[in-house]
Every structure is written in structure tokens, then in C-alpha cells.
Amino acid sequence: MLSDRPRPTKLFQQDIVQKVDHPEEYGIVMRCWHDAEDIPPVHPPFEEPLLRPLQHGEVGVAFITGQLQNEILREVDLKLVDRALQPGDYCKRTIDDVRSGVVLHVNSKARLQHVISGKPLEGWYMLDDVEENMDAELGDYVAYDDWIGQVVEVFDEAIVEVPGRHLVRLPELGSHLRVGDKGVDIIPPSVTGSLPAIFDMLLGNQRSNTPDTVIAIKHTAYAIAWLAVNQTLSAADAENRQRPQRFWHGQDIEKLALIRGRADVELRVGDRVRLKNAQGLPFTSHGQDGQGAGIIHVQHFLVQETETALDVLWQDGARETVKATDIIPYINPDEYDCWPGDHVLWKSEDERRPAIVQSVNPKDRTARILFPETGTTELASVLELDPHGTSDSAAVIAQSASEGLGVRRGDYVFIHREGTTNGLKKPRVPRIGELEAWVRERGHYGEAVVGWKKELADLGTSIAENRSTMGTMEGSSKRPVKGDDRFSWLGEVTDLKLDGSVEVTHPDWSVKVYPLERLTRLYDGMEQLEDDIWDDEGSDSLDMEDDEPVWTMDENGVWQPETVGEDWEDIEEDVDDDSMLVDDDAMEADQPNAADEPIVIDMDRPGPLPCITDNGNTTPSKGAKPSGSAAEDSEEEELQWKRFDVLPQAPVDHAFYSSPPAQPSKSFLGRLTREYRVLSTSLPASILVRAYEDRTDLLRSLIVGSENTPYQDAPFVIDWMLDSNFPNSPPIAHFLSWTNGNGRVNPNLYEEGKVCLSILGTWAGDRNEIWSAARSSLLQAFVSIQGLVLVKEPWYCEPAYDKLRGTEEGIVNSRLYSEKAYVLSRGFVRRALEIPLGDLEEEMNWLYYKQGRLDKVLQDARQLIEKSKIDSEPTAEDRELAVPSLTTGGIITLERILFKLQALKEKASRD
């Protein structure tokens, strides 16, 4: 039974809409303000109105019926008609709903109108009423001789009616024309001049403003990228299956088997279709008797409107049929989101176990999981589940592009022979599909077609020139019929069972269930091309204090402390004394403990808890007991928390220790001297930096998270390397991620060590944000990480998400992310104390044991847990907190960490 809930008003990409004041006008939403990936070009083409920047509440719509052109409109000017979701898509009821679902099945019906005359047909039409298009389209899979391939380009021949009812054939690379398209520019002027050599009929020299009309179109040549071979073949048989030819045309097209899944055959607004029973339905006639192909009748219909029902599996295990307009697409899933049937890894600090999700309570962030090796089920925190196969293991991270955990609904998979496996330990599943190098070659140089695309264009043009009539063109590929088991070696994942097995629908629509270990995922060619794209991808001057020690290199190459009493010398001609400036935003953003304020541990708590003040000295808190003279205590504390120091040797656990040492130039050493002077005097109290006499190209920084951020009191260690081109190139950073493979602690801090920041050249930024030898400094890089990365609301560190600040979606996602960041960063404290870094061990022990920061971490976390167990409405004060409360799942994970931290504290007190 369909749900009768009111429809949401927010619009999303691919939504079908009507214009309120022109209800006959139907369109498709192409752009939305809130889409994370909606980044229009800086200088959009003047003629394309959809490419200007969007304002809040605006969408870009491509109209497919009536007379309207593409246009950017307000959401309130549009009425939602349908939503174009497909199997495997994720959805929610509302933006702020924490529960999500996965689409299992789609059932659409459509209203049609004649594609040229616009005459509507009465009633609704179902998928069974429509003839399936047997022409392979761009992106379709095809099979031949035990190979699976993908159409990466097509060459078309379109029959176009021009003024005077003349018909001409238009050969063209690409598939942008469709039956029913009209326009005065269908036949471009450059082609018109060569018509006598190409077309069967001449247009003459006169063209009117009467639009041309496309009345038929056929793909006459294909470029196919062959991705992988049948995995049931023996090694010897597979070797004999040579990769098929690149270009296909003529009768060879009929040798191809067209492989389509459920999403490929659904009715969508804008589709051109033919009906199985078209008797008595409208048609139009084109051409003239006795000329060319004579009269051609067109009986194609445009899908004007759809109404879609979806079968949805919700996270809690409930299944429901809903109207597509009653839900919204879930476009920014949380990294811990999982659904029934998903294969995951349950991970603690000490072990990893494969599990299968039975149900999820998204509000509590808990999941009921099945351990297949024992057959037992347990309740787990989702923060301890890895649904994607990421890990803290560098080896697994390196393999993440070719394998993952389990499979997803909608994946295409290969089936291995019974009794064999995919070669990986369950639940890991490999992904295969080799996109040949020629596909990645540049196909255009300016307006000229080059390379393999030129080969395809020349082939298609030759076919058109040699055609003597406008009659029947090439044949079409064939769809496997039911019972055709030639293609039982591949299929589409259509469901995931709770016992871990997988339902697969084969190309002949037969359905079978397989164990996970017999499956290998197909790496889609278009996805590979997209992955290629992603893979390429005001200040205050620092005051120098004369009585502070700084470091400089003497004539023998030894670093020595000295007193700053002289002006900086210009080392490079283009570097002036402003080169050490630090961005105000980096110093102030989300920094309650910036350099101009003291970092106070807890002034109201009794006990020896000194606070670190900005000048680097320490003062005892109220109630601290002296040990020895005050001068002795102060001297010891200063030594324990020296913000900048140059040590004799770099530690072997430094991320870049094994890298070849840079050969420092005079310019390099001169600039480094200046950098050391700044670091000696200007580091905030919560940042430590260590340099090394034997490796001038290496540094290590420790940043302590600021109060009222999810990172408060946690240690963040980043290793740095300066290449020989420094300072003309930015420092290279490696973040020591101690998340135990449970996800990123921050969007800008990757588990494999990448630090994503404009000043480091690892993220695109404007001219004032990127590294500059004249304007940037190491201090600026360190402070930027503390002030712009380790912030109160880290979810918004993703540039695409910052515009969602204050929206329902942003508030929900930010809250969940901050909880994760808080819990994971408590684990950083444990890691720093349990496996201390060689050159920071004393500082860590002083900070967490002697200075009492571990007590604070434990007490704050326990208070937060107790507060979270009380079911009460958050107060205004709570809403100002970075982490006002925890979910049940967050509590489960945090309590495990606190147990370990308490044990470390007790051990330290005994020692």
C-alpha cells in the first residue's frame, strides 16, 4: 500500500517538475544550490543560462515539453511531479530524519505525447507496454565471446526534415540528437556546405528560419572498451579469448549481446519510446513521394510525466512501498551508514571480525550484527563498524581502489565456478575491469576531432557516404532471452540476504543466490574515467622578543640557540620581512585558546594542575602543592613543555625518516634559519615543534585540540618534510592517524596521512590561500591546521558542505560527525600514551600525567556520558557546545576507550 505522507518541498537533481504558472511545461532539475558537487564554472558560456551561480532556494531546470528553454528558477515557482530514483539509491523521509533506506525496486507508469506533434495519449502506460530499444546507448554494457565491454562513443546517422519537406541524412559523432528534436541549428552551417558530397538530397543555398526536425536516428558505429573476461573460464580458455575489436559497425553489431539491468529499462521523463501496440495512435508523415526514402511515418512518443512507486528497505529492517515524491534522495550518507544485508568489519583496538548487518537503529547509532563464523548476533556501535573496507593498514588502503567489503545493490558482478572463490578472504570482494589506454586519450584538440575519435568519425562518415538509399540501416544488438544461459557468468546484484548470501539477476532475467566469495565486482569504465578526474585534482606581523632563544646554523653546520637582537636578513630577492605573516582567520577561527589567551586546564579543580600561559611559562593552579622551590618547579615545567626545540637526531618513527635527505642549498638554510627564529618565539602554547640537527629537512609538530571542539585535549601529531625546493614549494605533511581504521577524525585529515589544506598545495585555493615563498611560513601552516581544521564543527571543513551551515541537513550531519570526531580523538590520547613517540614521550607524559590532562579527559568524558543518558531537551547552553551529547553507539565506543585510559592512569600511578 502506498504511503499518503505529504510530499517534501525541497527539490533535488533529476526531480521532475512542472512550472506553476505554465503547468503544460515539464522539466528536469539539473542543478540545485544545496548539491555538494554543484560548482559552476567561473566564466560560464554566455549562451547557457543554467551555468550561472545559484542562490539559496534556486534550481536549474531543463524543460522537455512546451516552448520554454533551460532556466534557473525559484523552488516556489515549481511543482514536484516525480523523483527519478533507481535500485540501490539511498533515501530518507525528510532532511532531518536520521533513518535512511535503500531502494530495492522501482515501478513507474508514464503519460505520453507524440514526439513531434505533441498530441497527448490518454491514460497511463506501463513498462510492459513499451518496446525495448535494442540500440546500445552510451554507457551500455555489451558482451561478445566471453568478454564484457562498454560503449564509450557512438556515431549517428540522423534523418532530418528540412524546409520544403526535404529529407537529408546527417552523419555526426556523438549521440546528442533524438527523434523529435527541432531547431534551426540541427544541421550546422559547416555541414551544409558539404551536403552535395554527403547527402542524398541537396538543400540548395537558401535556408529559412523554419526549424529542422529529427525524424529518425540510428547508431551506425560504436567504440567499445572491453573491460574483463568471463571469470568461469579456465586460465587456458581465458587466454584464448583475445580482446575483441575496438570499433563495431554494419552487420557485426548484431553479434553483440546487449546487457542491461533494471535501472536501464525504467521509464524516465524525456525518453523517446515506441509502443508494442500502436494501432490507432497518432503519427506524423515526413518527406515526399518519389524523392529519396519517400514518405516516413513517425510514431515515437515522448515520456512527458511519470509516477513512480518504490520498494524501500529501511535501516531498521522494515520494508515499505512509497511514492517517490514522499521521500528524498540521501545525497550525503554518513560514513558509518549501513543497511540490512551489508557486509561490514567490526573493529576494536585488538581485533577485527567480519559481520553482516541485520538491522540498524540510526538514532542510537547501534546495529544488530551477525558474526557468520559463530552464528551469533550482537549489538554494536556503528562507530566500530567499517562498511567500506577502509583500514589503518597501509596495504589495504593501497588496495582500496580494487577491492572493498561485500557488494552493493546495483553492482554488476562476475560469478566464479562452483567450488572456486574470488581469491580474497571474505568479506572482501575484488573489483576488475581494465580500461585500455586508448579510451583515456584526448579525443579533441580545440574543435578538431583527433585520435581514436577521429578514426570512429572517419568510419561513420564513410558508411554514410557509401549508403545508396535512406532505407534500412544497420541491425541492432540482441538482448538475451529468458533461459539463455550463455551469460550466466555475470549479473546485477538485486538483493542482499541477512545470512550473507547475494541475490543476482542474470541478463536473461533469471534470479539466483550465490555466496559472497564466488563474486567479483565489475569496475565500470565510465566510473574509471570519473575516478581519473578526481585523482588529478589579512595578517598581523609577528612580534620578536629579544630575550627569547632562537636557533641558527653556525659556519660548521651545527644548529645553536642564540638571542634575537638583529633584523632578519633577506635570503631570497623576492622575500621580504612580511614573509612570516600569519593569516588572521587561521589564528582566530574557532580558537578559544589562540596565541593571545592562556590555555587553562581547570582553574576550579583542586590538585596540582598548572596552566600553560602564552609566554611559555607555567603557573600552578589554585590548590597546587609545591615540590621544592618555586624556581625549580618552574624550570622543570619549562623544560617539559618547550614549544620549539632542535634535537640531535630525527626519530626512526618519523613518517619521512626513510626518505633520502634533501641536499640543502644556501637559500634553503637561510630561509630555515628565519623559520626557526619565528617558531622559537611565536608558537601558540598548544603547539610544539621539533627539528633535528641530522635532518634539517624534517620536523614534527604536536597540536593539542582546543576547548569546545570535538578535539579538545587530544594530541595531533604531524610529520613534515621540506624538499630541496623549499620555500618555493610548500612543506609536505603526513598526519599520524590513530583512528584504528574507524574513519577520518577530520575531513581534512586522511587515514593514510594526507593533510588537505590550500597552503600545503593539497587543496585548490585562491591566490591568497596557497603557499607563497614570499607570504607563507611554517608557523602559518601549523596555526592553519589548529585554527582552520581542528575546529568546533569539522563537518563543514569540506568546502562543498560549508554552504549547508545552518540548514537542517547540515545540522544533522555536523552533529553526527562531531560525535565521531570526539570519540575517535579520545583514542588518540590512549595511543599517544600507550605507544609514545620517541621525541615527544616526555612531553606527552608531562601533559597527561603530571599536568593532569588525562584526569580532565576522563572526567569530561564521563560527565558527558552521564548527561547523555538523561533523556532531556537540550538547553541553549548545550547548543553552544561542540558535542552536547552522545548517542548510545557513541557511548559504547567511548566507554571502551575510557576503560583503557583508566588502566593507563592506574599503571602510571603505580610506576
The CATH number of the domain where 524 resides is what? Answer: 2.30.30.140
Whether the pLDDT of residue 615 is over 50: the answer is no
Domain-located, residue 893? yes
User: CA 106 to CA 539: how far, in whole Å?
Assistant: 56
User: CA 193 to CA 203: how far, in whole Å?
Assistant: 9
Greater pLDDT, 594 or 689? 689
Residues 694-718: what's their mean pLDDT?
Answer: 95
Q: How would DSSP label each residue in 68-95?
A: ---EEEEGGGEEEEE----TT-EEESST
User: CA 513 to CA 283: how far, in whole Å?
Assistant: 45
**Looking at the chain, how many residues does it have?**
911
State pLDDT tens for residues 636-646.
555 568 999 99
Q: Which pLDDT score, from 0 to 100, does residue 595 have? A: 37
- Is 794 in the same domain as 671? yes
Q: What 3-state DSSP class applies to 173?
A: strand
User: CA 184 to CA 207: how far, in whole Å?
Assistant: 9
Greater pLDDT, 419 or 592? 419
User: CA 696 to CA 883: how far, in whole Å?
Assistant: 40
Residues 440-444: what's their mean pLDDT?
Answer: 84
**Domain count within the chain:** 3
Greater pLDDT, 276 or 629? 276
Residues 315-333: what's their mean pLDDT?
Answer: 94
Q: Which pLDDT score, from 0 to 100, does residue 78 have? A: 94
530: pLDDT confidence band, cut at 50, 70 and 90? confident
Domain-located, residue 349? yes
Contact 885, 878 (CB under 8 A): yes
State pLDDT tens for residues 741-800.
788 899 999 989 999 988 888 876 666 678 888 889 999 999 999 999 999 999 998 877
Task: Name the phi and psi angles at 191, rounded to 5.
Answer: -85, -35
- Per mean pLDDT, which of 119-123, 266-270, 664-668 is the most reliable? 119-123
Q: Which pLDDT score, from 0 to 100, does residue 627 have? A: 39
Q: Give percent helix, percent strand, percent coil of the chain, each to the nearest 5.
A: 25, 30, 50
Q: Which pLDDT score, from 0 to 100, does residue 176 have? A: 82
State yes or no: cis peptide before 727, omega within 30 of 0: yes
C-alpha distance from residue 311 to each of 145, 324, 479 (Å): 36, 10, 26
> Which of 13-17, 120-124, 165-169, 609-613 shows the lowest mean pLDDT across its residues?
609-613
424: pLDDT confidence band, cut at 50, 70 and 90? very high
Residues 152-164: what's their mean pLDDT?
Answer: 91
Range of the domain at 870: 644-909
Residues 693-708: what's their mean pLDDT?
Answer: 95
Contact 89, 272 (CB under 8 A): no
Q: Is 842 left (phi over 0), alpha (psi -120 to 50) or beta?
A: alpha
- Beta carbons within 8 Å of 332's beta carbon, 6+ residues apart: 36, 801, 809, 813
Domain-located, residue 732? yes
Domain-located, residue 598? no
- Beta carbons within 8 Å of 772's beta carbon, 6+ residues apart: none
Q: Which pLDDT score, from 0 to 100, does residue 564 have? A: 40
389, amino acid identity: G
Round the CA-based radius of gyration of the chain to a whole number and report it: 33
Residues 25-31: what's their mean pLDDT?
Answer: 91
Tell me which DSSP letter residue 384 carries: G
H or E, element range at 31: strand 22-32
Q: Which pLDDT score, from 0 to 100, does residue 484 have? A: 86
Residues 14-40: what's their mean pLDDT?
Answer: 84
H or E, element range at 455: helix 451-465
The share of the chain scoring above pLDDT 90, in percent, equals 56
Domain-located, residue 905? yes
Other beta carbons within 10 Å of 288 = 15
Q: Which pLDDT score, from 0 to 100, does residue 807 have? A: 81
User: CA 486 to CA 506: how far, in whole Å?
Assistant: 10
Q: Which pLDDT score, from 0 to 100, does residue 394 have? A: 38
Q: Which pLDDT score, from 0 to 100, does residue 736 have? A: 95
Whether the pLDDT of residue 183 is over 80: the answer is yes
User: CA 833 to CA 695: how far, in whole Å?
Assistant: 26
Contact 789, 757 (CB under 8 A): yes
- Is 901 in the same domain as 779? yes
Whether the pLDDT of residue 342 is over 50: the answer is yes
708: pLDDT confidence band, cut at 50, 70 and 90? very high
Contact 822, 572 (CB under 8 A): no
Residues 518-533: what's their mean pLDDT?
Answer: 88
Contact 414, 146 (CB under 8 A): no
Question: In the block, which residue shows the cell 525541497?
Answer: 10
Greater pLDDT, 266 or 710? 710
**What rounded mean pLDDT belongs to the chain?**
82
Domain-located, residue 114? no
Whether the pLDDT of residue 73 is over 60: the answer is yes
- Per mean pLDDT, which of 170-174, 189-193, 597-601 is the most reliable? 170-174
856: pLDDT confidence band, cut at 50, 70 and 90? very high
Q: Find the CATH number of the domain harbouring 49.
A: 2.30.30.30
Q: What 3-state DSSP class applies to 896?
A: helix
Pick the last residue of a domain from 533, 565, 594: 533
E runs forming strands in 67-165: 71-74, 78-82, 90-92, 100-114, 125-126, 141-144, 147-162
Question: In the block, which residue shows the cell 544545496?
Answer: 34
592: pLDDT confidence band, cut at 50, 70 and 90? very low
Whether the pLDDT of residue 264 is over 70: the answer is yes
Contact 68, 17 (CB under 8 A): no
Q: Find the CATH number of the domain harbouring 679.
A: 3.10.110.10
720: pLDDT confidence band, cut at 50, 70 and 90? very high
> Which of 203-212, 248-257, 429-438, 622-631 shows the lowest mean pLDDT across its residues?
622-631
Q: Which pLDDT score, from 0 to 100, does residue 687 have? A: 95
The x, y and z cell numbers of residue 895, run together, are 566507554
Q: Which pLDDT score, from 0 to 100, does residue 208 have? A: 59
- Beta carbons within 8 Å of 601's beta carbon, 6+ residues apart: 609, 610, 611, 621, 851, 852, 853, 856
> Which of 588-602, 659-673, 727-741, 771-785 shows the lowest mean pLDDT across its residues?
588-602
- Beta carbons within 8 Å of 612's beta carbon, 6+ residues apart: 598, 599, 618, 641, 685, 686
Q: Which pLDDT score, from 0 to 100, does residue 803 have? A: 80
Domain-located, residue 96? no
Q: Which pLDDT score, from 0 to 100, does residue 563 have? A: 44
Domain-located, residue 35? yes
Whether the pLDDT of residue 103 is over 90: the answer is yes
Other beta carbons within 10 Å of 892 = 20
User: CA 423 to CA 421: how far, in whole Å?
Assistant: 5
User: CA 791 to CA 797: how far, in whole Å?
Assistant: 8
| Set 32, 91, 338, 756: catalytic member | 756
Q: Which pLDDT score, from 0 to 100, does residue 8 have? A: 42
Whether the pLDDT of residue 598 is over 60: the answer is no
Greater pLDDT, 859 or 392? 859
Residue 563: which of 547, 586, 575 has the closest Cα? 547
Whether the pLDDT of residue 420 is over 50: the answer is yes
State pLDDT tens for residues 532-582.
765 554 333 333 344 445 555 554 555 555 444 334 444 444 444 444 445
Residues 114-122: what's their mean pLDDT?
Answer: 94
Angle at 463 between CA 460 and CA 465, to 5 degrees: 110
User: CA 672 to CA 572: how far, in whole Å?
Assistant: 12
Pick the last residue of a domain from 533, 556, 585: 533
Residues 69-88: what's their mean pLDDT?
Answer: 91
- Per mean pLDDT, which of 605-609, 714-718, 723-727 is the most reliable? 714-718
32 is catalytic: no
Residues 231-241: what's their mean pLDDT?
Answer: 92
Residues 106-129: what's their mean pLDDT?
Answer: 94
Question: In the block, which residue shows the cell 577520518?
Answer: 744
365: pLDDT confidence band, cut at 50, 70 and 90? very high
User: CA 911 to CA 909: how far, in whole Å?
Assistant: 5
User: CA 337 to CA 809: how far, in whole Å?
Assistant: 15
Q: Which pLDDT score, from 0 to 100, does residue 639 have? A: 56
Residue 862, exposed/middle/buried by CB under 10 A (0-12, 13-18, 19+)?
A: middle
Question: In the block, which residue shows the cell 600514551?
Answer: 833
User: CA 721 to CA 730: how far, in whole Å?
Assistant: 9
Task: Name the phi and psi angles at 902, rounded to 5.
Answer: -65, -40
Question: In the block, which residue shows the cell 608558537?
Answer: 683
443: pLDDT confidence band, cut at 50, 70 and 90? confident
